[in-house]
């Protein structure tokens, strides 16, 4: 199938679904200076953005318009909601984590001015840590996320950092907590590792949130995956790259080789919507070897920072952000797809961000979707829907078997 677009009265442009989902359009439109040190290209490079189609799942819409049935979800639910969290910080006031951050910045930065700024920032962090030494750290509240989701019958995926010890090439944006750092979880002092184990024990999924440079390094990814698996005592199936740092030409094959079954990186940092024109999971593709991979993508649709960050992205207020959530939700609901949300746990200290999450959960609950994790979405899709939404071997996009 292809999607015919009215570009202007005298011309048309055809979006080929197969080419879109294989990542060929994205690969063709990468910035000329894209390198391992460059931030991942965002929505402005996307072909659907240029055509005004970011907020429509055009692939899914075309499937339904051509008489195909919508995906099947448990108990006849009309669509699925995949709740996710990238755990970038576990403490707000930690001199130890601030020290690790300054060490990374000095090691990876030759600019004297930036080094001085890092020192100044470290000094401020030390002062804050001293001032708040005997207070409860406001980020030691991960149980609040579990309680909010359990209240509506939901489970989510927490993507945790594996700790600096498993990272051979650090980047200044990498997380700074170690798995042995102390936190307070559910009114008890424990290590980050023990908190991860308890979240897992209660039924939430733990996924990997790896380092900046891991997106092209299979050995690095394997090492970080194994580090977190040792903490959990079982295999990790899902991944999301830190900062969504990803190269469509390389990363899918790296993820598959490292042993992941599900990825949920492919969304935007600075916008919301459908990066690949779909809310349906699909098998990723290796553009180098020209073959379909075993790993399934559960696309990221809405990120908190894209909506609410006052310094970049859409820079919305709470009410306007909610209107976008309604818009995107309705689009997913119409095609029976998956609405994947990302809310960072460290943003719980921002009242507007937390309020929007609670409001969104209440709004979605009324629509009666299937709330679940990345892993559960991937497993269900493989068992119930995958054969009905395969890529054809011809150049026609998505067709039925």
Name the 3-class secondary structure at 83. Answer: strand
pLDDT in tens, 51-92: 999 999 999 999 999 888 999 999 999 999 999 999 999 998
pLDDT in tens, 263-291: 999 999 999 999 999 999 999 999 999 99
Rg value, the chain, Cα: 21
User: Beta partners for 183?
Assistant: 190
Residues with Cβ within 8 Å of 321's Cβ and at least 6 positions away in sequence, in order, are 307, 308, 314, 356
Q: Please give the angle made by the CA atoms of 153, 309 and 138, to the nearest 5 degrees.
A: 60
0.85 surpassed by pTM: yes
pLDDT in tens, 172-220: 899 999 999 999 999 999 999 999 999 999 999 999 999 999 999 999 9
**Of all helices (H) and strands (E), which one includes residue 352?**
helix 351-365
Helices 218-232 and 251-258, packing angle to 10 deg: 40
Q: What integer best gives the mean pLDDT of the chain?
A: 88
Cβ-based neighbour number of residue 233 at 10 Å = 8
| CA–CA separation, 342 and 359 (whole Å) | 15
In this predicted structure, what is the pLDDT of residue 388?
A: 75
| CA–CA separation, 239 and 253 (whole Å) | 13
């Amino acid at each position: 199938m292809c999607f015919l677009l009215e570009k202007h009265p005298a011309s048309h442009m055809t979006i080929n679904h197969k080419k879109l989902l294989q990542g060929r359009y994205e690969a063709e439109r990468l910035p000329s200076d894209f390198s391992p040190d460059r931030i991942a290209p965002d929505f402005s490079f996307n072909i659907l953005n240029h055509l005004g189609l970011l907020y429509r799942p055009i692939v899914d819409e075309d499937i339904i318009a051509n008489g195909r049935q919508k995906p099947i979800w448990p108990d006849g639910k009309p669509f699925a909601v995949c709740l996710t969290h990238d755990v970038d910080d576990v403490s707000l006031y930690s001199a130890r984590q601030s020290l690790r951050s300054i060490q990374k910045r000095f090691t990876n930065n030759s600019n004297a001015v930036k080094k001085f700024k890092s020192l100044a920032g470290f000094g401020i962090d030390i002062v804050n840590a001293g001032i708040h030494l005997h207070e409860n750290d406001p980020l030691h509240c991960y149980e609040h996320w579990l309680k909010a989701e359990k209240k509506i019958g939901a489970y989510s995926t927490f993507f945790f950092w594996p700790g600096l010890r498993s990272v051979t090439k650090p980047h200044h944006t990498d997380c700074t907590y170690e798995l042995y750092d102390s936190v307070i979880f559910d009114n008890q002092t424990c290590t980050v590792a023990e908190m991860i184990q308890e979240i897992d024990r209660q039924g939430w999924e733990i996924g990997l949130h790896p380092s900046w440079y891991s997106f092209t390094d299979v050995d690095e990814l394997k090492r970080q995956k194994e580090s977190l698996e040792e903490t959990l005592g079982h295999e990790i199936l899902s991944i999301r790259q830190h900062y969504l740092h990803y190269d469509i030409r390389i990363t899918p094959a790296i993820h598959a080789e490292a042993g992941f079954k599900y990825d949920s990186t492919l969304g935007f940092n600075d916008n919301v919507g459908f990066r690949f024109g779909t809310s349906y999971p699909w098998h990723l593709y290796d553009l180098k070897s020209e073959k379909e991979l075993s790993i399934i993508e559960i696309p990221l649709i809405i990120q908190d920072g894209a909506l609410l960050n006052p310094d970049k992205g859409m820079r919305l207020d709470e009410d306007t952000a909610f209107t976008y959530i309604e818009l995107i939700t309705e689009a997913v609901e119409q095609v029976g797809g998956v609405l994947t949300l990302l809310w960072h746990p460290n943003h719980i200290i921002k009242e507007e961000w937390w309020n929007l999450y609670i409001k969104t959960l209440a709004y979605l609950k009324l629509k009666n979707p299937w709330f679940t994790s990345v892993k559960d979405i991937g497993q269900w899709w493989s068992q119930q829907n995958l054969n009905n939404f395969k890529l054809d071997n011809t150049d026609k996009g998505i067709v039925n078997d």
